[in-house]
Structures are given as structure tokens and as C-alpha cells.
Structure 1
Amino acid sequence: MATPNLPTPDFAFDPNQPGACIAGVRPYRNGSYRLDAETISQSFIVHNYGHGGAGITLSFGCAAKVRDIVRDHLAASRGVTEAAVLGAGVMGLTAATLLLDLGLKVTVYSDRAPLETTSAKAGGQWAVSVVEFAGKERELTDIIKSAYRAFKDRIGQGFGVFERPNYTATRAHNLDIVLQLAPGLIPPRQPLQRLPFAHHTKPGFVYQTLLIEPPVLLARLKADLDQRGVSFVSKRFVNRSDILAGVPQPIVVNCTGLGSMTLWSDTKMMPIKGQLALLRPQPELQYLYGQNGYLFPRSDHVVIGGTFEPGVNDETPDKAVCQGLVDHIASLFGKAPAKPLPDIHIHNPVHAPIVNPAIPEV
């Protein structure tokens, strides 16, 4: 019996429409993300950054680690009642949320509102994408488990979290890592004789994962923090000294992402630009799709992405690149002529360290 096809997307797209093309810059850190603490002068600094393309995926798990680090510090301190969080992306907002569990008064400092951050420009699949973790396998396993369960608990609660199958033409390394590190957390991938779409004849795979809609998630986290009395201060810092002088709270959680490249002089940090094409919403599409790029149907848009520009710190989208992404995915469904992929290709699939082309190799 033939496998019935799932609905085909409508690929109508005008890159000249306002908001049709967007670009963000992933905060990639070579070697591994940073999740540790140090004391500078009178400030206890917790660093939580460098998660590449997996910030949303790992957010609640990393926030739980931050909470535990701060809890241990409070046990050895007296009279500390306030904490600051630097950054209003998903890492900052989730860290602030869980710090409230410790009874602290929390202030968030950021030069961007949550919906203006890099987190708001993510596709939204729950997968360990473009983040290094050499030597941190055990810690990352804990983070993955904690984060996944936190998101599962928020399904149907207004956080923009949904269970979705992801159909892929090849094995998805960013989900295979989850299967390897945390067996049983998500169902095993299933091989398919063919992907269940029009004009697809070759074998593939299906994974069961989550879709997280970043604009919904960030807005809900912000609203909850507002309701719980968290203060948001619009402030731009220029270096570490500026932070130490301008933040009076004795505990500072650094979730500045790519900003840490400058603020904390972290030479391991590197920007990786990614671009997205946003199609009209199509609620009949209840799946994720990947083949040298990805298609994620969300309630606000059908998102097509997968580009990867190491060393490029520029949030200006390229309309031709976005159109090329749409044309490529449309051609796989028989809705456009087959064309070569844009030069800016899908991200590094095997989590090998990525070379910054702006820095000559020695």
C-alpha cells in the first residue's frame, strides 16, 4: 500500500515584501560553550553563552545549571538578595526565570528587547545544532534532558511549543546527538522507504522532536517576568570594566552571546550568519522538513532556512539568497525548476570545529 502524501506547501514568496527575509548571527564558540563562574572584584560572574544554533534548544537546561551555580554561591554568602542578567535573548530570559526560584530580586540589562534579539530570528526546531561540547558530554546530557522536559511541560501552555515529526532526506546529526547522549529521551529515528511528499521517491528518515516558536516563547517569558516583578533596563555595555562599574548587583549572569566576544574578550567566539525566508502561515502543515536546508511551518510563518556564513557579523538579509532557499525547497516538491543551491550552504553537519575565515590559519 502506497504511503499517502502529506500536504505540499505553498511556496509563493516575494523577497521584496517587508519582513520576508531576515538574518541573524549565531553566537558560535569554538571548543565548547561557556557555562562557569568567576569572581571579579566584588562581583560573582556566571557565564552562560556560546551555544551556536542551539540556544533555544538548551536554554532551560543551561538556566537550571546557572540556578544551581548561584544557589551554591548563596549558600556560602550572606545577605545577597539581588542578581543581574545581561542579555534579553532566550538564555537571559530563562536564566532570569529560574533565578526567581531562589528568591532573588532580578534585573535584566540589555540593549535589545527580547523580540529584537538573535533568539527571535531562530527557526525553532529542538535540536543540538552548531554547538561544540568536547569534554562536556556528561554536562550536555544533563542540559539536554532538563531542557527537553521543560519544553515538554510547556506544550499547550502558551509558550509556542508543539510536538512535530521531522522528515529528513539524510540522517540529522543534530538529532542523532540527542539519541546518542540521551537514549530514550526522544523516540528513535525511523527509516522510510520514501519521504511522504509529492515528487519524493527516495528513502529518508523521520524523527520525533519539538517545534518551538521563538516569537511566542520570548513574548511569554518576558510577560511572565514582568508579572513577577523583574526589571528590564535598556543599557549598552562596551567592555568588562563598563559592566563591573555599571551593574550594582553582586551576582551577574552573563548571557550576552556573541557580545561576549567583545565584552569579555573571548577569542573563541565567532559569528555565523544565518538567513531565513518567511512564507505565509499554513496551519495545515504539521511537520518539519529537511534536505540541504529546512522548512519549519509555524503559526506566524512557514520558515525556510539553513544558510551558514562563518565569520560574518552582519544582520542584513540578502534577498537573492532567501529566494534561492525557497526555490531549492520548492524544487524538491516539484513546485520550481531544480537549481543549484545558494553558495551559502547548510550548516556544518558533524560538529567539527569551524574555522573563522576572518582569522588566517597558522
Structure 2
Amino acid sequence: MEIKFTWPQGFQSGATHAGFKADQQLDFGWLVSDVPAVAAGVYTKNQFQAAPTQYTRSLIQKGQTLQALVINSGNANSFTGQPGLDNAAQSGHLVAEKLNISSDLVGVASTGVIGKQMPMDKFKDGLAKLTLTSQSQLPEAILTTDTHSKKTCHALTIDGKTVTITGFAKGSGMIHPNMGTTLGFIATDAKIEGSLLQDLLRELIQSSFNQITVDGCMSTNDMVVVLANGQAQNQTLTAKHPEFVSFKKALQTVLINLAKMVAADGEGANKLIEAQVQNAANPVEANQVAKAIVGSNLIKAMLFGEDGNWGRIVQAIGQTQAQLNPNQLDIQIGGIPLVKNSLTVPVDQAALHQILATDKIIITVNLHCGEAQGMAWGCDLTYQYVEINAAYEG
């Protein structure tokens, strides 16, 4: 069940203003476990992967264990060459020294402007101010063009023990994921096998973060990391554990909640778009069609203008490689049928306009080619998106 935001047992955090941003906004923070935690991660497939992403990916692949994550906004440390990699490594070492732990246990994440070296003097100043508390503003410290923080918390019972899964993320623009998107972090006190957690994240990311898009642009800094420190004291979760499915569903809920928050907060967005695909030939094609719908600039502009031109939905579906029957396609917007068996149907335009005027639009399509279902999330395309990105560096 969803509960008020709180850190799982054995986790603390902190946040401060280090000066990566010109104003006095929070721009630096950390998440720390009392003990080393099993770690899993997924990362951008952009060929210009940022230094912090490369560094953290290497740590997790090598040891599957982290105890701390240090995160900054305002500087991406991306496309910065060997100095950028050195700064990412130094960042981890400095945090490790302050916490008196091994540097192999400190992951690093950054977000902000690409192409600028990390100002390590500001990093050191910010680190000197960081403390650890049970309540902090860490989710607010990682924001860039976001209008608000994105966080969620879920609790369940495993082996009679309360297990908490807490997630937070940032993301508003440059959102078009491939394995991971934006920056997303999940902390849980569940005890679980490391390889199983990695497999689980790799699977669940496909139906959550990988099913959102804002602008079709893949970031260089994307990563989603899960830490599980085992402090709930449940029996180690394996694929055969009787309550493993419950944990999997709870983790999926947290990931989907965060993904939808990112999509809804797309730069300049007024509306969240949800595409629901029914009866596709297989799950991959169902998700492909759903993401094509929410990613279409024509559809995004159409919904910003509150127009019901369903022909644009047909176009988006047809340009995918999914199996289709041209004579059997159903389309609904907000539950109102627009197309049935590939033929237009009479529509109550007043009712349709009322739905299009809301801040969440659900587009449902039935492909009649199988039994697979898929979903994706995006946002409308507004004048404000251009304004924000025309002057990102101010």
C-alpha cells in the first residue's frame, strides 16, 4: 500500500546548496545506508554516457553493492573527457572519506548542463555542509527544469516484517529512455539476492520508465538505481520465496508512479497522456504502439489544442512494426469511441471536448491481433516547451 514518504529502515539522507546553481536552491545531497546494500542499476544507452553514469555503472557491475549515493543538480559532468571521469571518481572518494567507508561503495550521479567540468571546489564545500537525517529535502535537491519533486513510498509485509520501498526521481525534459531514464533512485529495507534484484529492475524498467517520453531526446546521464539494505530482517527474497511476487508488484508500483510523475511534469506540459493498448500480438509490440502514441509530436500538439483528430493516432500506430489488421482497429479517447473496426463512429463533440479539456487524457486502442496489453505515458507539446529549451543556459 502507498504510505507517506519516509526512508526505509537503515537509510538517511541530507541536502544543501553547494553553488552548482546560481540561486540558493538545493542542488546537492546524498542517500546513505547504515550498512552496505545490494545494488542494481540500469543506464542510458546514449553513446555519450556521462562520467558519473559510467562510474556508478562500473561500481555496481563489479560489486553489486553500494552504501551511499551522492547526487548533484546544476552540472551534468557530461562530455567532459578524462577530467570528468577523474572528478566523478574523486567525488566518490571524498564522500567515502567523510563516511569512513570504502570508495567502492559510493555511487555518483549528476544532472544539469552538458559540457562543463565539475567545479570540485563547490563539491567539497557542499560536502562539508552535508549531514544525515531521517527527514530531508533530497528529492528537491536533484531537480533541474522540474516544477516539483517526484517521490513515492510503498509498504508491504514479508515474513511478518514491514518492508518499505521508497523512490524519488527527477526529469522534465530530455526524456526518451532506453533502459533507464532521467535520474531515479529506489531505497528498500528488503533483503534480496543481488542478481535477482538486477534481473527484476531490468524487467520492470521496460513497463515503467522505458514507457515514458516527453520530447524524444535521450539524456546522457540517465540512470535508475535500487538499493536494498536488508534491514527489515525478512528471509532473503529469491524467485521461489512465497512473497516474492508481492515484492515485485510493489516495486513495479513505485517505478510506475515515478515514471508517470516524470511524464506529467514534462517541460511546459499541461496534460498527462496515457496510452492503453489492448489485444496486441505480444507485449513488446503492445508497448511499442503505446509509446509511439505518446511520443508523436502530432498527437502531443493535437491534445494541447484539445482537438479530436484521431487520424493522427492511426498514423502513429501505422508507422510501428507491430502486427496490425487494417480493417480491425478501435480507438477511444477518455472512453468515448471514435473508431470501431477501422470505421469512424458518430461522436458527441461536446462530451469529447470536455474530456480533452482535462489534465489527463487516456487514449485506448484495440489492435485485435492477440491478447497482450501495453501502456505508456507522455505529455502534450506546448509553447512553453520551446521557451524553456530556447534559453536553457539562461
**For this structure pair, what is the TM-score category when the shorter chain's length is used for normalisation?**
under 0.3
Name which structure has the greater RCO, CA cutoff 8 Å, separation 6+: 1
TM-score (norm 2): 0.25
TM-score (norm 1): 0.26
Larger radius of gyration: 2
